């Protein structure tokens, strides 16, 4: 129970800090994973951000439209 409460508090604080940057916690997790592991697959990004593959695709499209990421067809 304490771990869940701590996780909830951490997520809330992250949301508060990321809001001025117009980023969500999953978007931040995605950007961090891409910085740590350039070329990572979208499936692995989804696992690291705790979202579905479909959600990660939508998330990446949004980041791409903002010019925060670019995707290759390789």
pTM of the model: 0.84
Share of the chain above pLDDT 70, in %: 97
Banded model confidence at residue 71, pLDDT cuts 50, 70, 90: confident
Phi-psi region for residue 38, left (φ > 0), alpha (ψ -120 to 50) or beta? beta
Average pLDDT along the chain: 93
According to DSSP, residue 73 is labeled -
- Residue 36 is predicted with a pLDDT of 95
Residue linked to tokens 């980041």 = 63
pLDDT for 72 beyond 90: no
């Amino acid at each position: 129970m304490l771990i869940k409460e701590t996780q909830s508090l951490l997520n809330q604080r992250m949301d508060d800090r990321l809001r001025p940057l117009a980023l969500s916690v999953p978007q931040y997790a995605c950007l961090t994973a891409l910085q740590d592991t350039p070329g990572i697959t979208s499936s692995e990004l989804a696992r690291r951000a705790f979202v579905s593959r479909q959600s990660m695709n939508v998330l990446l499209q949004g980041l791409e439209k903002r010019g925060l990421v670019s995707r290759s067809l390789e």
